[in-house]
Amino acid sequence: MTQAIMPTLPRPVTLLFVSERLVYRSVQITDKYTFYAIISKPGCMELGHSLIPRPPIQRSMDEFLEMYQKKALIFVFICVKEWSESGQPTAGKPIGSLNMTPPSLESKEDHRSTSFAIWLSEEYRGKGYGTEATKWAVDWAFNYAGVHHIELWSFSYNEAAIRVWEKIGLQLEGRKRESVWFQRKWFDTVIYFRIADALGSLLGGVIRISSQLFMPVETHVAETAIFDPLKVYPAPTGDEDPHDGSRR
């Protein structure tokens, strides 16, 4: 009797919430002051909303935190990776947050449309962390939440976020001309998209990435042999050696 060949996972599930330099952990009620400290700094919210810029108040942040803990598809702190005594990656200092809305929040569930936002502390912008966290979020959504099409919008003055999106393969779909008033000047709202390749088409759905990816130009991203969620990988035949499970 021939024994069935069990397919192997491309990386161990123990690394699900780990990337090259970061670890992603849940945000607890007891973390509210850390969360507030990250997103209340000037320059964090201003690039992601067309509302009149005002300093956030504690009450509104408490309501936001409670809402995302109850309704978000995923809501995590972006943390610097540290290592335990046993050599396992652990979550260190939170340097940002990531929240993704559930599919039913914006449209019919069968469309599986969602959006996610990333906030980073100012001292960690421009170091590649935003790009790394964005790739991880896309990877998580493709592989575990079920998505097919990526759509994102931003303002034309948010050039750093647009560079990141283009870096990971999204294309300009269109723009709303002079739709945003900021610092005594009109700017466009730009819309980017990516249709899922063979990897994403097996899962279906939509990601909509909002403009809340706040960082200046990424000057360097480490070159490593990592799993790329936007690359088409051949289907396993059962004869290959399993991947070593390393991630970003």
pLDDT tens by residue, 51-110 = 787 877 777 778 878 888 888 888 999 999 999 999 999 999 999 999 887 665 455 566
Q: Which of 108, 43, 33 has its CA nearest to residue 77? A: 33
pLDDT at 225 over 60: no
3-state secondary structure of 152: strand
Q: Kindly report, residue by residue over 22-61, the tens digit of the pLDDT.
A: 999 999 888 988 988 888 877 777 777 777 878 777 777 7
How high is the pLDDT of residue 93?
95
Give 234's pLDDT tier (boundaries 50, 70, 90): very low
Quick check: 232 and 197 in contact, CB under 8 A? yes
Please report the pLDDT score of residue 183 as a whole number: 92
Q: Please choose, from the candidates 27, 35, 97, the residue with its C-alpha nearest in 3D space to the C-alpha of residue 60.
A: 35
Residue 231: pLDDT band by 50, 70, 90 thresholds?
very low
Distance separating alpha carbons of residues 53 and 113, to the nearest angstrom: 28
**Domains, the chain, ordered by start:** 13-213 (3.40.630.30)
* Listed residue (167, 214, 209, 177) closest to 192, CA to CA: 209
Of 16, 44, 4, whose CA–CA distance to 229 is shortest?
Answer: 16
Instruction: Say which amino acid occupies 200.
Output: G
pLDDT, mean of residues 173-199: 84
For position 201, what pLDDT does the model report?
35
* CA–CA distance, 114 with 137 (Å, rounded to integer): 12
Residue 195: predicted pLDDT? 67
Question: Residues near 184 by Cβ (< 8 Å), separated by ≥ 6?
Answer: none
| Mean pLDDT confidence for 197-202 | 44
Q: Is the dihedral of CA 39, 40, 41, 42 positive or negative?
A: positive
Whole-number CA gyration radius for the chain: 19
- List, in sequence order, every beta strand (DSSP E) within the chain: 22-26, 74-83, 89-100, 115-120, 149-155, 171-181, 186-195, 206-213
Cα–Cα distances (Å) from 146 to 8, 113, 149, 187, in that order, read 20, 10, 10, 33
Contact in structure between 93 and 80 (CB atoms under 8 Å): yes
DSSP one-letter code for 140: H
Whole-model pTM? 0.73
Sign of CA dihedral 152, 231, 126, 58: positive
Q: Give pLDDT, residue 3.
A: 62
pLDDT at 230: 41
